[in-house]
Amino acid sequence: MSPPPTDGIDLALQHVGVRFGGLVALDDVSLRVPPGRIVGVIGPNGAGKTTLFNVVCGFVPPTSGALTLDGRPFRPRPHRLTRLGIARTLQGVGLFPGLSVVENVMAGASHAARAGFAAALFGLPRSDRDERRLRDVAHDLLAELGVAEHAAAAPAALPYAVRKRVALARALIARPRLLLLDEPAGGLSAEDITELGELVTALPGRAGGACSIMLVEHHMDLVMSVCHEIVVLDFGRVIAAGTPEQVRDDPLVTEAYLGADVPAGAAAPGAGASS
Ligand SMILES: Nc1ncnc2c1ncn2[C@@H]1O[C@H](COP(=O)(O)OP(=O)(O)O)[C@@H](O)[C@H]1O
Ligand SMILES: [Mg+2]
């Protein structure tokens, strides 16, 4: 593995719009994820969060507007993300059922690092040393995320919260400079969410490689506690942006959340109580 830069990437979206036929899913959305920062994107159901996530991953091409990465034009393509230093976790978990936990993490490594591992999977000649080194890195990541004791287990046998951590380890092994998280709190208990918040907070400064984070999330408490900046979407538009305090006190945000179907576990801003 060549040592990649670990400063975090500067991602920007400028006036991005997405239409699905007659439906405007994103309308003139501009935002920035500066190096080393955790930026949250929140909004009620149907606000356009997943669409925004998919634009950055390259699954949905913007109908208008542009993206930049470190100031250069950026046309995202899903298969090129790892090479650009971008990793993502999806709304579900998506681990490979046929691989053990540690093998799942190894599978997230960059193409070059994985070559030896893939050769091993397909029974080709390989470098045992490369594979062992990659396995050690995967073990270290599982330990960092507090799930090392599950390394040999099959993912299906594990609680959902553990599988989510494995998925995070799989994203981190590629040493991303930008990590995209889509609704990481989904399906987790309040206690699991608190622990997840602590893990995410530590990511920009971690010794194994710092990164910027874009956190797309419905769960208000998590976003409020971990993000440096928050962008609020409603009906595809940015209705507020700023620090958690600024966003929490914004009447437009309260209205968007209270006027919408607030799911269990997602407190409205200013409502205070944690779920
Ligand atoms: N592939 C698609 N085709 C048509 N409409 C879509 C598609 N994906 C999302 N939408 C619509 O775009 C809007 C935003 O959806 P989405 O990005 O999933 O919101 P969120 O993740 O905030 O709940 C919704 O009205 C949704 O129905
Ligand atoms: Mg969504």
Among candidate residues 146, 174, 202, the one where a domain is terminated: 174
| In a shared domain, residues 26 and 67 | yes
From 19, 23, 57, 237, give the residue whose CB has the most ligand 1 atoms within 8 Å, as the site to mutate: 23
Q: Model's pTM, two decimal places? A: 0.84
Q: How far is the CA of 261 from the centre of ligand 1 (A)?
A: 16
Q: How far is the CA of 142 from the centre of ligand 2 (A)?
A: 27
| In a shared domain, residues 11 and 76 | yes
| In a shared domain, residues 74 and 184 | yes
Ligand 2 is an ion; residues with CB less than 5 A from it: 49-50
**Is 128 a member of any domain?**
yes
> Cα torsion at 254, 16, 55, 22 (round to 10°)?
80
Q: Is 257 exposed, middle or buried (0-12, 13-18, 19+ CB in 10 A)?
A: buried
* Domains held by the chain: number: 2
Q: Which of 93-97, 149-153, 200-204, 217-221 has the lowest mean pLDDT?
A: 93-97
Q: Which residue minimizes the CA distance to atom 3 of ligand 1?
A: 20
| In a shared domain, residues 129 and 186 | no
CB atoms within 10 A of CB 149: 11
| In a shared domain, residues 232 and 187 | yes
**pLDDT(115) > 60:** no
User: Do 232 and 247 touch, CB atoms closer than 8 A?
Assistant: yes
Q: Which of 25-29, 51-55, 123-127, 130-134 has the lowest mean pLDDT?
A: 123-127
pLDDT of residue 257: 77
pLDDT of residue 60: 96
| In a shared domain, residues 69 and 145 | no
**Is 47 a member of any domain?**
yes
| In a shared domain, residues 191 and 151 | no
pLDDT of residue 124: 52
**Residue 93 — very low, low, confident or very high, per pLDDT cuts 50/70/90?**
low
Cβ of 44 closer than 6 Å to ligand 1, yes or no, is no
Cβ of 22 closer than 6 Å to ligand 1, yes or no, is no
**Is 30 a member of any domain?**
yes
**Is 130 a member of any domain?**
yes
pLDDT of residue 264: 43
CA pair distance 45, 113, nearest whole angstrom: 39
Atom of ligand 1 nearest to the CA of 236: 14
pLDDT of residue 208: 62
**Residue 205 — very low, low, confident or very high, per pLDDT cuts 50/70/90?**
confident
Among candidate residues 142, 174, 206, the one where a domain is terminated: 174
Q: Parallel, antiparallel, or unpaired: how do β-strands 237-242 and 229-234 relate?
A: antiparallel
| In a shared domain, residues 6 and 72 | yes
**pLDDT(113) > 90:** no
**Is 115 a member of any domain?**
yes
Cβ of 20 closer than 6 Å to ligand 1, yes or no, is yes
What is the residue-wise DSSP string for 142-204? HHHTT-GGGTTS-GGGS-HHHHHHHHHHHHHTT--SEEEEESTTTT--HHHHHHHHHHHHHGG
**Is 62 a member of any domain?**
yes
The CATH number assigned to the domain holding 74 equals 3.40.50.300
Among candidate residues 158, 174, 190, the one where a domain is terminated: 174
**Is 34 a member of any domain?**
yes
User: Do 31 and 231 touch, CB atoms closer than 8 A?
Assistant: yes
pLDDT of residue 187: 85
Q: Give Cα 44 distance to the centre of its chain.
A: 18
Q: Which residue minimizes the CA distance to atom 2 of ligand 1?
A: 20
**Is 90 a member of any domain?**
no
Q: Which ligand is closest in space to the CA of residue 183?
A: 2
Cβ of 23 closer than 6 Å to ligand 1, yes or no, is yes
| In a shared domain, residues 129 and 66 | no
What is the residue-wise DSSP string for the chain? ------S---EEEEEEEEEETTEEEEEEEEEEE-TT-EEEEE-STTSSHHHHHHHHHTSS--SEEEEEETTEE----GGGHHHHTEEEE-SS----TTS-HHHHHHTTS-HHHHHHHHHHHTT----HHHHHHHHHHHHHHHHHTT-GGGTTS-GGGS-HHHHHHHHHHHHHTT--SEEEEESTTTT--HHHHHHHHHHHHHGGG-TT---EEEEE-S-HHHHHHH-SEEEEEETTEEEEEE-HHHHHT-HHHHHHHHTS-PPTT-PPTT-----
From 19, 26, 50, 232, give the residue whose CB has the most ligand 1 atoms within 8 Å, as the site to mutate: 50
pLDDT of residue 3: 43
Encode pLDDT of 30-69 as tens digits. Answer: 999 999 899 999 998 899 999 999 999 999 999 999 999 9
Cβ of 47 closer than 6 Å to ligand 1, yes or no, is yes
Compute the average pLDDT of residues 248-275.
60
Q: How far is the CA of 114 from the centre of ligand 2 (A)?
A: 31
From 16, 18, 19, 20, give the residue whose CB has the most ligand 1 atoms within 8 Å, as the site to mutate: 20
| In a shared domain, residues 71 and 100 | no
| In a shared domain, residues 135 and 248 | no
User: Do 192 and 228 touch, CB atoms closer than 8 A?
Assistant: no
User: Do 19 and 61 touch, CB atoms closer than 8 A?
Assistant: no
Range of 74's domain?
A: 1-85+176-275
Q: How far is the CA of 46 from the centre of ligand 1 (A)?
A: 6
| In a shared domain, residues 53 and 111 | no
